[in-house]
Structures are given as structure tokens and as C-alpha cells.
Amino acid sequence: MHNKVTINWVQGEHDFALNIGELRALQKNCDAGPELILTRLKVGSWKIDDIFETLRLGLIGAGMDAKEAGPMVRRAFDQHPAFALKLPAYQVLAAALIGEADDPVGEEAGVKPEADSGSSPSSTEPGQ
């Protein structure tokens, strides 16, 4: 799972992952594409199901049984304000769409840019 993320949220530490099946279900259940849902979470125009479904499906995508994931997220909503769940939902969806911050896109591990040889003249040298 390239998009799996471990989050310590109000229900403890759990793995979350939104694979293609979960992303399609999220899109259907929230009547919006995943990037729009991410934007709604970021700018504050989210709906309850944007948070609820992201967390529920994220738990399922990481391997939790659906019969356990739904009630766990419902308990989280019953015991905590929605704002306490907004950031974890954002993190789960961002991991699926963007990847983790320390995971460079398009670069192989250990590849470094060529060092400047210093052979070109500096633009601050006189006579340039």
C-alpha cells in the first residue's frame, strides 16, 4: 500500500489507506471527487460525510473490518467535536492523493542533482 498512513487520532493509533476501491466509494458516498473533498476539508466547506466516510473507508482500506470501522468512527463523532476529526480525515485523504511529505515524487532513492562545476562565469564578475 503506497498510500498507507498511521495516524494517532481520538480513537488511538490506527493505519488508514484509501485505495482505488475506497476512493470510488468515497466519491460516490460524498457525491464529490476526492480532490474536491480534500479542498473542502482544507478551506472549511466540508460536510460531515466528508470526514466520516474518509475515516471509515480509510480504516477499511488499511484492513479493518467494515463492521468495526463504522462503529469506531461513529463513536469518535459521539465522543468528540467534528473539528477533532477534520485533521485526521485530511491527512488520510492527502496521503492517498499526494503521498507522504517525505516521499519525493519521481525521484529514485539516492539520486542527487549534479554538483555545479563552477566553470561558468559569475554574473557578478566585472566586465560581464
Q: Is the pLDDT of residue 48 over 80?
A: yes
24: left (phi over 0), alpha (psi -120 to 50) or beta: alpha
Backbone angles phi, psi at 8, to 5 degrees: -95, 105
DSSP secondary structure letters along 72-103? HHHHHHHHS-THHHHHHHHHHHHHHHT--TTS
Full domain range(s) for residue 49: 5-97
Res 82 pLDDT > 80: yes
| Structure confidence by residue, pLDDT tens digits, 2-39 | 689 999 999 999 999 999 999 999 999 999 999 999 99
Does a structural domain hold residue 126? no
Q: Does the pLDDT at position 78 exceed 60?
A: yes
Residue 84, in any domain of the structure = yes
What pLDDT was estimated at residue 126?
A: 54
pLDDT tens-digit readout, 100-112? 665 555 555 444 4
Average pLDDT taken over every residue of the chain: 86
Full-model pTM: 0.78
In a domain, 23, yes or no: yes
Per-residue pLDDT tens digits for 55-74: 999 999 999 999 999 999 99
Inside any domain, residue 24: yes
Counting the structural domains of the chain, the total is 1
Asked if residue 109 belongs to a domain, the reply is no
